Amino acid sequence: MQRVVGSWMLCLLCFVMGIGGPLAAADKANWPGWLGPNRDGKSPDTGLLKQWPEGGPELRWKVTDLGRGFSNVSVVDGIVYTTGDTADNLVLFAFDLDGKLLWKTPIDAPWTRSHPGSRATPTIDEGNLYLLSGNGIIACCDAKTGESKWRRETKEFGGRPGGWGYAESVLIHGDLAIVKPGGQQCIVALNKRTGETVWTSSGFEAGPEYSSCIVANFEGQDMIITGTRAGIVAVDAADGRLLWLNAWSANNTANCPTPAYADGYVFWANGYGKGGVCLRLKKVDGKVTAEEAWTTRNMVCHHGGYIIKDGYIYGNHSGGWACLKLETGEPVWEGRAVGKGSVCYADGMLYLFGERGGQAGLAECTPEGLKERGTFSVDGEGPSWAHPVVTGGRLYLRYDTNLYVFDIRAD
């Protein structure tokens, strides 16, 4: 705990003195929601193991009764959050860093249609927790107690879930809580403190599908970018008006992964035989546009995602993994490792988590090939679609009703 507090104080001092950007002001031990501090799948952790011992890193603790689910964890101010579907409820759980249950609270009825189980990852911001249920409840709770602060429903905006339910994690941008009900008011921005509507998107109509929103700034323009049934879309973060839409993956079987942004490029890959599309952003006469830079069949990604690092894309591809050049889409390497699964990045390494069999893998994040540095397995049943999380020197793996927490520090 002293290490966490010290890090927080140092980051606060840097923020007050104007040293560094958003990451400098953030507590390195915090993972506030889906895909981490910058919603890019990358952890700021350093000093981590570069090779796992036989049998895997040390298990710190585990929980085996979360209920069914695919929700990742969020970790903020020494509290670990996740969700699970019990027989009667979608339940939000909070644990301390030793695995002790602090509280749990029901949020909604469970998702009981195709692939039952909890979906979205809780989003933590300024003492509040935000969660979208599979059925369409938008909830804001006190992050310390779980007490409800406000609730909305996607049906208020004409939205309804797809066949696999809402799987989106709420995006916080400034004072806005942003979700995607789908329909004519496809994307909605709510006041994060009160739940009141600030804007709804305009200029297009689309089903919500299953990806989450990201925020990107290109030449001074803040954009909310997300995948929809109509394709990948960007709206102005100030008022929700349409900036651009690319229909490359429109009407695909399911558009699941969250788009990724880096260096003026937006990348989005989907499964079911589709592949990836990369868009190059431009600003002409004060308006941001997106032109298709390339498409590929060398990264067909169902659920496991991808990260962009130093001009290369590393991600889930069919039954394994692939690396592509960001600017051109040129294939660099392919490999199987733990098989089809999900990924996150930390300290020069890729953390891989297989969809089947609970197999976790460590590999170097390099365009020089898939260089594996250890594997081990955890228990669970069915598919594992929760992504690995690395924060505070720990690896968090959610599989089925179970949560495993491993110590991966090098010292």
Pairing of strands 42-43, 394-399: unpaired
Tell me what the pLDDT averaged over the chain comes to: 93
* Confidence (pLDDT) at 108: 98
> What is the dotted CATH code of the domain comprising 30-50+67-349?
2.130.10.10
Greatest CA separation for the chain? 58
In the chain, helix, strand, coil percent, each to 5? 5, 45, 50
Map out the domains of the chain as residue ranges. Answer: 1-29, 30-50+67-349
| Three-state secondary-structure class, residue 377 | strand
> What confidence tens digit (pLDDT) does each residue in 95-138 have?
999 999 999 999 999 999 999 999 999 999 999 999 999 999 99
pLDDT band for position 29 (cuts 50, 70, 90): confident
> What confidence tens digit (pLDDT) does each residue in 36-46 have?
999 999 999 99
* Confidence (pLDDT) at 209: 97
* Confidence (pLDDT) at 411: 84
Mean pLDDT of the region 355-359: 95
DSSP letter for each residue of 251-298: T-S---SPPEEETTEEEEEETTTTEEEEEEEEEETTEEEEEEEEEESS
d(CA 245, CA 149): 35
pLDDT band for position 275 (cuts 50, 70, 90): very high
d(CA 89, CA 84): 8
Mean pLDDT of the region 355-368: 97
Burial grade of 64 (CB within 10 A; 0-12, 13-18, 19 or more):
exposed
Reference 189, options 204, 203, 174; nearest CA is: 174
Mean pLDDT of the region 204-218: 98
Reference 130, options 173, 67, 164, 89; nearest CA is: 173
pLDDT band for position 5 (cuts 50, 70, 90): very low
* Confidence (pLDDT) at 344: 98
Mean pLDDT of the region 71-85: 98
Residue 68's alpha-carbon distances to 82, 87, 115, 180, 403, in angstroms, are 11, 9, 10, 24, 11
* Confidence (pLDDT) at 19: 35
* Confidence (pLDDT) at 12: 33
Residue 343's alpha-carbon distances to 51, 197, 231, in angstroms, are 17, 34, 23
**Model confidence, pTM:** 0.92
pLDDT band for position 252 (cuts 50, 70, 90): very high
> 202 forms bridges with which residues in the sheet?
241
* Confidence (pLDDT) at 314: 98
Tell me the one-letter amino acid at 38.
N
> What confidence tens digit (pLDDT) does each residue in 148-164 have?
999 999 999 999 999 99
- Flag whether pLDDT at 3 surpasses 90: no
SS3 of 152-190: EEHHHHCCCCCCCCCCCCCEEECCEEEECCCECCCCEEE
Mean pLDDT of the region 173-197: 98
* Confidence (pLDDT) at 272: 95
* Confidence (pLDDT) at 4: 34
Q: How many H helices and E strands in the chain?
A: 2, 33
d(CA 90, CA 83): 7
- Flag whether pLDDT at 353 surpasses 60: yes
Reference 367, options 310, 328, 327; nearest CA is: 310
Given a contact cutoff of 8 angstroms between Cβ atoms, the answer to whether 124 and 74 are in contact is: yes
pLDDT band for position 28 (cuts 50, 70, 90): low
> What confidence tens digit (pLDDT) does each residue in 302-312 have?
999 999 999 99
Mean pLDDT of the region 83-88: 95
E strand or H helix at 245, and its extent? strand 242-246
